[in-house]
């Protein structure tokens, strides 16, 4: 297992659509383990493969609170098949947009279909924080970031800030 570097905006692959996993190979299983290790080290509650430069539809998450037992969950080829009409506001952050947090309104409940690391198919109804994490991470697989839910002014301000940081790092 290895901790992999997390990419930050404006890295182009964060805006690309990830490809479905055709077969769950040992390489995919190692990817999942590395993603968990990377997410816990960051620390974060979720991570999508494009955030470490791997363009596969793989996400990992752990919605457990600080005082709770870990509840790691990996999803391969997740597909949200239903969203509730009820909305919920949650303050979101992103490992690819470090130290920036904003309130985002999303459906409170979602239903997701996915494969686990053994290739078994699952359907899971997610509520509250878990629903927010699943939606946030699936957005990553579609090249969408949580800042896309913000006003244009806030989004542009954040993007410019990280473009400046990237420019300085490249010089």
Helix (H, G, I), strand (E, B) or coil at 148: helix
Instruction: Please indicate whether residue 92 is annotated as part of the active site.
Output: no
Q: Confirm if 58 and 75 have CB atoms less than 8 A apart.
A: yes
* Number of Cα atoms under 13 Å in the Cβ half of residue 114: 23
Q: Confirm if 110 and 138 have CB atoms less than 8 A apart.
A: no
CA distances from 50 to 11, 95, 141, 144 (A): 10, 12, 7, 11
Q: Confirm if 52 and 14 have CB atoms less than 8 A apart.
A: no
Q: Cα separation of 75 and 55, whole Å?
A: 14
Query: If you search the block for the tokens 């790691």, which residue do you land on?
Result: 72
Catalytic residue among 86, 102, 117, 137: 137
Q: Give catalytic residue positions.
A: 137
């Amino acid at each position: 297992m290895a901790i992999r570097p997390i990419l930050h905006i404006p890295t182009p692959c964060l805006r690309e659509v990830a490809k479905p996993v055709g077969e769950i190979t040992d390489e995919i299983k190692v990817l999942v383990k590395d993603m968990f290790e990377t997410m816990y080290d960051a620390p974060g509650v979720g991570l999508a493969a494009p955030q470490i430069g791997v363009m596969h539809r793989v996400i990992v998450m752990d919605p457990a609170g600080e005082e709770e037992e870990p509840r790691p969950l990996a999803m391969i080829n997740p597909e949200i098949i239903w969203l509730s009409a009820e909305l919920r506001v949650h303050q979101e952050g992103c490992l690819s947009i470090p130290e920036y947090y904003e309130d985002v309104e999303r459906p409170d409940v979602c239903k997701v279909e996915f494969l686990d690391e053994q290739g078994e198919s699952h359907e899971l109804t997610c509520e509250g924080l878990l629903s927010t994490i699943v939606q946030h991470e699936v957005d990553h697989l579609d090249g969408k970031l949580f800042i896309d839910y913000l006003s244009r002014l806030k989004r542009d301000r954040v993007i410019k800030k990280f473009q400046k940081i990237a420019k300085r790092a490249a010089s």
